Structure 1
Amino acid sequence: MSEIRRAGGASGAGGKVAVRETATRLRVGVGAFQRRAREATTEGELTGPELTAMSRLDRRGPATTAELARLEQITPQAMGATVASLERRGLVAREPDAGDRRRSILTLTADGRNAVGSGRSALVDRIAAVLDASFTDEEIATLDAAALLMQRLADLV
């Protein structure tokens, strides 16, 4: 396996090429994964944006639609549509902000916490089955660590 070097490290210009190649592989791999995941999503299942918004509320606590939109780098209108869908399904609740009655604060409902906590969906089940059947324990541990790094990268891009 080739060594991956960081830009700005002792590797000089060669390191920047390796980092750029890694960035390209990530873009291609993540794009392919997203396309296949969208194809595999079943009717009524949480969409990627819905699950992401709920996960943010679970990890960070209550937030406004605008705050969630900023975190996901999308328009407040797009996040508003996502939140409206989650509200209709009873997964998030909206309450007036005590400090500013013009704003609404979103929180997960008990059903929303259960949905995030269970991590259950047809797609997650399918991914878990593929991991179990086709990857070693070491590879699964590597993907688990990579998933956390991918989330951090997504937050910084």
Structure 2
Amino acid sequence: MNELTVTAASLRSLVGRLVRRLRESAPPGDLTWSQVAVLGYLVRDGAMTVTELADAEGVRTQSMGATVASLQASGMVTGEPDPNDGRKTRYHATEACLALVSANRAMRDDWLLQAMESQLSQEEQQQLTQLVPLLQKLADYSS
């Protein structure tokens, strides 16, 4: 096994652990992780149909329909007729959703900042800052 293969496996494992720690730092409250994922798409990408959300999450349209219906009932999303095809409904995040997502992100950012400040030296913090563009390139890669 070559060095880059070992690095890839280590990075995958570490990113997974970091994601779990970030999730633990800001639990979803009454929402399921599936609902949180849907809200993330709507906040990042704007209004989407149930079919588009199902494709993005890799689930059946019927399953996504139930998730969206529960989010709509809780006031997190609202639907409007698609301007290009009135038979479809495009869902978007409500103000309540935006506030919840913003608070959740702030908690995760605070946890990560505290971890960086308490666990890394100034030099290590600078090294990490310099690595962010490289990690961004990896995150943006699609094969």
Range into which the TM-score falls when normalised by the shorter chain: 0.5 to 0.7
Aligned to 2:69: 84
Does the CA contact (< 8 Å) of 1:41 and 1:47 recur in 2? Answer: no
- Offset, 1:93: 1.0
Q: Equivalent of 1:134, from 104, 113, 119?
A: 119
- Per the TM alignment, residue 73 of structure 1 is displaced from its structure 2 partner at its CA by 3.0
Higher share in helix? 2
Q: Distance in 2 between matches of 1:142 and 1:67?
A: 35
Cα deviation, residue 37, structure 1: 4.2
**Shift of residue 63 of structure 1?**
0.9
State the superposition RMSD in angstroms: 3.4
Query: Equivalents in 2 of 1:115, 1:47: separation in Å?
Result: 14
TM-score between both structures, scaled by the size of structure 1: 0.62
- Alignment CA distance shift 1:93-1:143 (3 Å): farther
Structure 2 residue 46 is the aligned partner of structure 1 residue 58:
no
Matched, 1:107 2:95: no
Deviation for aligned residue 1:47: 5.1
Look up the match of 1:3.
Answer: none
Q: Does 1:152 align with 2:140?
A: yes
Flag structure 1 segments of 5+ consecutive residues without an equivalent.
Answer: 1-13
5+ long unaligned stretches in structure 2: none
Of structures 1 and 2, the one scoring higher in RCO (CA 8 A, sep 6+) is 2
Residue identity matched to 1:120: A
TM-score, length basis structure 2:
0.66
Number of equivalent positions: 139
2:106 to 96, 120, 137: 120
Preserved CA contact (<8 Å) 2:28 2:36:
no
